Copies of this chain bind each other. A is one copy, B any other.
Amino acid sequence: MGSTTSHDSAIRRWLLQKLHNKIGAPNVRVVVGDSAPFPDGAADVVATVRIDGWRTLASLALNPEVGFGEAYRDGRIEIEGDLLQLLDVVLGTMPESTKSGWYSRLFSRWLEWLQANTLRGSARNIHHHYDLSGDFYRLWLDSRLLYTCAYFPDPGATLEQAQIAKMDHVCRKIRLQPGERVVEAGCGWGALALHMAGQYGAKVRAFNISREQILVARDRAKREGLEKFVEFVEDDYRNISGRYDAFVSVGMLEHLGLDNYEGLGDVIHRTVGDSGRGLLHFIGRNQPRAFSPWIRKRIFPGAFAPSLAESQRVLEPHNFSVLDVENLRMHYARTLEFWLERYERAWDTVVKMYGVEFARAWRLYLAGSIASFRVGNLQLFQIVFAGSKCQQIPWTRAHVYSGESESEKKLWMRAIS
Instruction: Show the binding face of A for B, using Cβ within 8 Å.
Output: 96, 151-155, 286-288, 307-310, 312-313, 315-317, 319-327, 329-330, 376, 379, 381, 388-389, 393, 395-398, 400-401
Contact A308 B319 (CB under 8 A): no
A116 and B215 CA atoms in complex are apart in Å by 66
Which one of B154, B325, B398 contacts A322 once the chains associate, using CB atoms below 8 Å? Answer: B325
- Which residues from chain B contact A309 at a C-beta distance below 8 Å? 308-310, 312-313, 316
Closest chain B CB from A387 CB (angstroms): 9
Closest to A313 in B: B309
With A308-B308, A393-B330, A395-B330 as known contacts, state yes or no: A286 contacts B320, CB within 8 Å.
yes
Contact B321 A379 (CB under 8 A): yes
Which one of B287, B322, B393, B397 contacts A308 once the chains associate, using CB atoms below 8 Å? Answer: B322
Contact A154 B312 (CB under 8 A): no
- Which residues from chain B contact A393 at a C-beta distance below 8 Å? 330
Closest chain B CB from A311 CB (angstroms): 8
Closest to A310 in B: B309
Further 5 A-B residue pairs, CB within 8 A, beyond A288-B316, A308-B309: A286-B321, A309-B310, A309-B313, A323-B326, A401-B401
Closest to A325 in B: B325
- Which residues from chain B contact A381 at a C-beta distance below 8 Å? 322
Closest chain B CB from A131 CB (angstroms): 36
Contact A327 B323 (CB under 8 A): yes
- Which residues from chain B contact A327 at a C-beta distance below 8 Å? 321-324
Contact A286 B316 (CB under 8 A): yes
- Which residues from chain B contact A288 at a C-beta distance below 8 Å? 316
- Which residues from chain B contact A317 at a C-beta distance below 8 Å? 287
A401 and B396 CA atoms in complex are apart in Å by 10
Closest chain B CB from A116 CB (angstroms): 29
8 contacts across the A-B interface (CB closer than 8 A): A152-B396, A154-B396, A286-B316, A286-B388, A287-B319, A309-B309, A322-B327, A324-B325
Which one of B313, B315, B319, B379 contacts A96 once the chains associate, using CB atoms below 8 Å? Answer: B319
